[in-house]
Amino acid sequence: MLIQLADINRLYRSDEVETTALHDVHLTIERGEFVAIMGPSGCGKSTLLNILGTIDRPSSGSYRFGDHELSTMAEAELAQFRRSHLGYIFQSFNLIDELTIEENVELALIYRKMPRAERRARVAAAMDRVSIGHRARHYPSQLSGGQQQRAAIARAIVGEPDLILADEPTGNLDTENGMQVMDILQTLNREGATIVMVTHSPSHADMARRRVDMLDGQIVISVRNAI
Ligand SMILES: Nc1ncnc2c1ncn2[C@@H]1O[C@H](COP(=O)(O)OP(=O)(O)O)[C@@H](O)[C@H]1O
Ligand SMILES: [Mg+2]
């Protein structure tokens, strides 16, 4: 077992209102799984993904990742954990406009103690895996949405993370580019990557190995796909 969330709650409090974004969520993920999370807007999908990605912390509950308990880990240690174990893909790509594609991908490795030549070789290999190597010296604004998302995938995988998180990775793409991104995610999963993806597309959810449906901050269904 790679991941175990147990009794996870996430409350948002302001002066007048209290929102329960997640309510007693239990989720176990094995190494090598590809999980699609679906559900209506506001049901807690991004909150769940952000907690898995350690960008957010649960109000209560336990988050085990391998041998680590992440819900109580100190922030500095968590930042290090995040950089070496997790890769994140966002709906809006989130590349840095002032850096080239190559530099964006390389940034994910900058905190690792690694000789420059090895770092360069890893960056080139990651870009090749998503067929973006020919745009290495371009800036994000010079690329199509599909190319930018492929570059963002290269950034997510260059550190060989234990878990790839994707929040609506095809949400800003047309059908063809969306399918390319899904093909890449499926290939990465077949090669062993563990992936958790939020999507609004039933056909994209069908390309995952398991589908989890959420409603009002809870997981209501978890089914294995026949793929
Ligand atoms: N920073 C925040 N402050 C207050 N409420 C929030 C915040 N982020 C999310 N929420 C609330 O938590 C619930 C779940 O949000 P979210 O996880 O973004 O849903 P989804 O991704 O499924 O659309 C919603 O009711 C949302 O309004
Ligand atoms: Mg969301």
Full 3-state SS string of 146-212: HHHHHHHHHHHHCCCCCEEEEECCCCCCCHHHHHHHHHHHHHHHHCCCCEEEECCCHHHHCCCCEEE
* pLDDT-derived band at 65, boundaries 50, 70, 90: very high
pLDDT of 125 higher than 80 = yes
Residue 117 placed within a domain: no
- Mean pLDDT of the region 66-81: 95
Distance 78 CA to ligand 2 centre (A): 23
Residue 47 placed within a domain: yes
Domain that holds residue 186: 3-95+160-224
CB of 38 closer than 6 A to ligand 1?
no
Q: Which of 8, 17, 19 to mutate to test the pocket of ligand 1 (most atoms within 8 A of CB)?
A: 19
Report the nearest-CA residue for atom 5 of ligand 1. 12
Domains: count for the chain: 1
Residue 120 placed within a domain: no
What is residue 135's predicted lDDT score, i.e. its pLDDT? 98
Cα distance between residue 25 and residue 219, in whole Å: 6
Q: Fill in the amino acid letter for 20.
A: T
pLDDT of 227 higher than 80 = no
Report the nearest-CA residue for atom 6 of ligand 1. 12
Percentage of the chain modeled with pLDDT above 90: 95
Distance 217 CA to ligand 2 centre (A): 12
Residue 83 placed within a domain: yes
- Mean pLDDT of the region 78-97: 96
What is residue 15's predicted lDDT score, i.e. its pLDDT? 86
Which residue from 14, 35, 12, 13 is spatially nearest to 22, judged by alpha carbons?
12
Residue 144 placed within a domain: no
Residue 147 placed within a domain: no
Cβ pair 137, 100 in contact under 8 A: yes
Cα distance between residue 72 and residue 227, in whole Å: 37
Residue 182 placed within a domain: yes
Ligand 1 atom index nearest CA of 41: 23
CATH of the domain at 49: 3.40.50.300
pLDDT tens per residue, range 89-112: 999 999 999 999 999 999 999 888
Distance 6 CA to ligand 2 centre (A): 21
pLDDT tens per residue, range 143-167: 999 999 999 999 999 999 999 999 9
Cα distance between residue 222 and residue 33, in whole Å: 13
Q: Which of 43, 91, 200 to mutate to test the pocket of ligand 1 (most atoms within 8 A of CB)?
A: 43
pLDDT tens per residue, range 182-225: 999 999 999 999 999 999 999 999 999 999 999 999 999 999 99
Cβ pair 160, 126 in contact under 8 A: no
* Residue 46 CB partners (closer than 8 Å, separation 6+): 167, 198
What is residue 7's predicted lDDT score, i.e. its pLDDT? 98
pLDDT tens per residue, range 46-58: 999 999 999 999 9
Residue 121 placed within a domain: no
Q: Relative to the alpha carbon of 44, which ligand is closest?
A: 1
Ligand 1 atom index nearest CA of 48: 17
Cα distance between residue 1 and residue 11, in whole Å: 27
Q: Which of 17, 46, 165, 214 to mutate to test the pocket of ligand 1 (most atoms within 8 A of CB)?
A: 46
Residues present in the chain in total:
227
